[in-house]
Amino acid sequence: MRHAIAPPLAIFDLDGTLADTAPDLIATLNVVLVEEGAPPVAREAARDLLGAGARALVVRGLALSGRQVDAAGLERLYARFLIHYRAHIADESRLFPGVEAALDGLAAAGWRLAVCTNKLEDLAIDVLKALDVAGRFAVICGQDTFREADGRPIPKPDPRALLMTIERAGGTPARTVMIGDSKTDIDAARAAGVPVVAVDFGYTPVPVRELSPDAAISHFDELIGAIDAVTRLAA
């Protein structure tokens, strides 16, 4: 009996990869900071604060003014962050240029598409719905989609987040490529044994080309060619 071959699978990070969500994230951070009597941060300076989730963003934002917060205080600020962000999730967020054409091209070539992000799953779905692309993805997985036995979430760079996204999407690691913008994505892909294409316009304090992805692109027009190259290398 012949077994069906899993379709090739392209898994995307969200913030800083598919979409420039920084304006809404940073605007929300500044609401929280100002309410706490801390100075707001400039958008340009804050982009490097992104990529590790909302709790880390709050901690990093406070640290810029020399402030710290205990665990209980962080949960209070995190809850406040989520309330504001849910109400303003895509006021200014936009897909990066070329995203829709690249998704169309991959789908036409037989690729299945998925998202694996460290955003909460429901927030990721809401953003992608607001940007009118949620329906293009077979699955949208966030940092809380998969959990340990004790309930703790499994976020990237834990490779299980990526591997379980692959499984949920009906793919196999051998026929998957990751597209991301940071060390978190590259480390997750490496540990999962999946080739990775990095965009160089995302949210990372270290230039992504210095992190040795399998390929790096500066525009989504380059994505399909880069995927072809790294999947040939991985074959």
Q: Are 180 and 199 in contact (CB under 8 A)?
A: yes
Residue 230: C-alpha distances to residues 4, 177, 224 (Å):
23, 8, 10
Contacts of 215 (CB under 8 A, 6+ apart): 197, 198, 226, 227, 229, 230
Q: Where are the alpha helices (DSSP H) in 39-120?
A: 43-46, 54-63, 71-87, 99-108
Nearest to 8 by CA among 150, 179, 191: 179
Annotated catalytic residue: which of 13, 144, 158, 185? 13
DSSP string, 125-184: HHHHHHTT-GGG-SEEE-TTTSB-TTS-B--TTSHHHHHHHHHHTT--GGGEEEEESSHH
Decide the pairing of beta strands 94-95 and 19-20: antiparallel
Nearest to 122 by CA among 152, 162, 82, 93: 82
Is 228 labeled as catalytic in the residue annotation? no
Q: What is the dihedral of CA 208, 209, 212, 217, to 10 degrees?
A: 90
Q: Which residues are catalytic?
A: 13
